[in-house]
Amino acid sequence: MVQTDTLLYFGNGLRLPPIFVLYLEGILAVSFADHEIYGGCVSSMAFDGIVLAAVTAEMQQLVHSRVFKIYQPDRGEIILHCRQPGVSLPVVLSGDPQNARVHLALTVPENPLSPPSFCMLLRKYLEGGRIVSVIQPDLERILEIKIENTAESGELTHYRLTVEIMGRHSNIILLDSSDTILDAINRVDSRVNRYREIIPGAKYIPPPDQAKLSPLRLSWQSFLNRLAPASPQARLSRLVLDNFAGIGPRTAKELVYQAGYSPDALREEANDEGLQALYDQVVALGKRVEQNAFAPRLLLDGNAQPEDISAIPLDHLRQPAQAFASMSLTAETYFKQKLARQKMANWQHSLSRVIDGHQRRVTRKLRAQKTALAEAESADTYRVFGELLTANLYRVEKGMEAITVTNFYDPDQREISIPLDPRLSPSGNAQAYFRRYNKAKKTKVAGLYQYQRTLEEEKYLDQVQATLDLATDLSDILEIKGELVQEGYMPATREPRRKRPVTPKPEPLRFRSQDGLWILVGRNNRQNDYVTFRLGRSEDMWLHVKDIPGSHVIIKGQGNPIPKQTVEEAALLAAYYSKARTGQNVPVDYAFRQHVRKPKGAKPGMVIYDHHNTLFVSPHLEIIKPLLEQQNYSSQ
């Protein structure tokens, strides 16, 4: 391991400050204050060695249990169902580059009908086996599950299932008793890594040793040997991160903070007493691990959304955190929501591409239709030519290519030149213009109809995109997907044959106004129709932003006059759940539900209305936040 005093330059233009760099046969591992880089890929380390130590302690209850079922619900994820008398213990193992983890689970995904090949291999060697040990070597982000089972020869043998939590290089590897790789969920051959192949038949080589000291066996002298010679400008937290095993970036800053320094303090700020205080904190962390004295935390961001996990309190962050009794439950809660957000983002991106493709198609279609309509506008010219020729037939002779006549439709009675077909008779030329007039007139009528329909489609696609942008959870996204499939904008996906699920009723957002009335807000076009025409009654109030894509809003009046305050609150919600969310003085139309109608054949969410008034609101977050806090998903 070499410390560099210069900036590192990567091929993609990334520059990093002085850091510790380990380079072994094509493997680049870079450690710095907030992230780790493996081969140029930056990933946050929510699952550090201390978190894994907490999980490993909880997983000791797996020892002597039987592996009775294995399945692979996702590309990088394995579920082990372990069982002891009267107890079922599901375990999640993930080698996903962005979400690598391992923990006991309360809920697990559905078992797919067709197991991948790696899952079949695990079933072959591990199902029915007994777990002998669950070990985390030296606080590394590696978990080894040793399983005893009967081999094909009939003899008892041991297999080792190794989970490596290493960012983009995360993996799940099955080894036999001689440490030969049987297979891995992510194979790595010599084209990717000459130093460490992970393919069937290869000898297992552990990840490169980063030469870190273990907090479990740390002496004052070894601590001092690492930190005393460090550069005065080096951050204390990074020195802890780079020199002691199992410690992630935020844990390192917490140790510095608990030692009495700023989390970003430099080495030059720490005297001998300061180093002693920092040493005491690292040793105390080691004792906490030895005693299984963990305090699992789910860190929350400013919107109360899960941001990270920790096995100990992180007081230096000064941000809200939720305490859990179990590290596994903490990890499950965090990754469940993180994966849901990722899945939602992926669906949003995918559906946005579908919508964008159709929007571009509609734009081209509108351009062509405008051109056709402009050509059809010449219909009156053909009629005038026909009538002027009829009035001047005596002057027209067959074989003429044009004739100039007085245009009696012109107030100034100016002359006009009329092109002629020399092959036609005088009356034939007049009739030809009348035929072109009738055709152009029909084209104009049909063209206007098609142009109007295309404008409505453009408006509809804008509305779908707006609801997609405002979607708050995966169920919203999947409803929009279903709508696009139903409307023919994307093909239906083939699902494996299984029991047909019951289609749930749309569940709009529900709010209580200060006057105690229900305000219902549709989250997509299907819900908009449901809110307006199924839940709304004629005496209820309907609201929608004027000429802007957004949600349908209904105030349940319960047969009584609706207070002005409630109308204003509903207008704020209509503006907030629209494309004008960040706007000022947003116009919101409101009318009684009886004045809102759905045209025959109209697409979901498309309505017409009259007898309405307009209210102008500015849906600033500080204004609407108290109202959003009144959200309630329960039925009326």
Q: Tens digits of per-residue pLDDT, 154-196?
A: 899 999 999 999 989 999 999 999 999 999 999 998 888 888 9
pLDDT digits (tens, 9 = 90+) for 504-551: 566 899 999 999 999 999 989 989 999 999 999 999 999 999 999 999
- Please give the pLDDT value at position 295: 96
pLDDT digits (tens, 9 = 90+) for 44-77: 457 899 999 999 999 999 999 999 999 999 999 9
- Please give the pLDDT value at position 13: 32
Residue 29 has pLDDT above 60, yes or no: no
Q: Which has more confidence, 109 or 296?
A: 296
Q: For 49-184, CATH number? A: 2.30.310.10
- Please give the pLDDT value at position 278: 97
* pLDDT mean across residues, the chain: 87
pTM for this predicted structure: 0.74
Distance CA 137, CA 270 (A): 31
Q: Which of 122-131, 132-141, 466-475, 590-599 has the lowest mean pLDDT?
A: 466-475
Under the banding of pLDDT at 50, 70 and 90, the label for residue 630 is confident
pLDDT digits (tens, 9 = 90+) for 299-343: 999 878 899 999 999 999 999 999 999 999 999 999 999 998 899
- Please give the pLDDT value at position 494: 65
Q: Which has more confidence, 6 or 63?
A: 63
Kind and range of the H or E element at 373? helix 327-376
Q: Is 362 left (phi over 0), alpha (psi -120 to 50) or beta?
A: alpha
Distance CA 14, CA 157 (A): 48
What residues contact 66, with CB distance under 8 A and at least 6 apart?
82, 83, 84, 128, 129, 130, 131
Alpha helix (H) residue ranges in 377-487: 379-391, 426-469, 474-486
Structure tokens at 114: 């067709």
- Distances in whole angstroms, Cα of residue 240 to Cα of each of 122, 223, 272, 337, 539: 38, 10, 16, 30, 67
Domain map (residue ranges) of the chain: 1-44, 49-184, 346-495, 509-628
pLDDT digits (tens, 9 = 90+) for 600-614: 888 999 999 999 999
- Please give the pLDDT value at position 30: 37
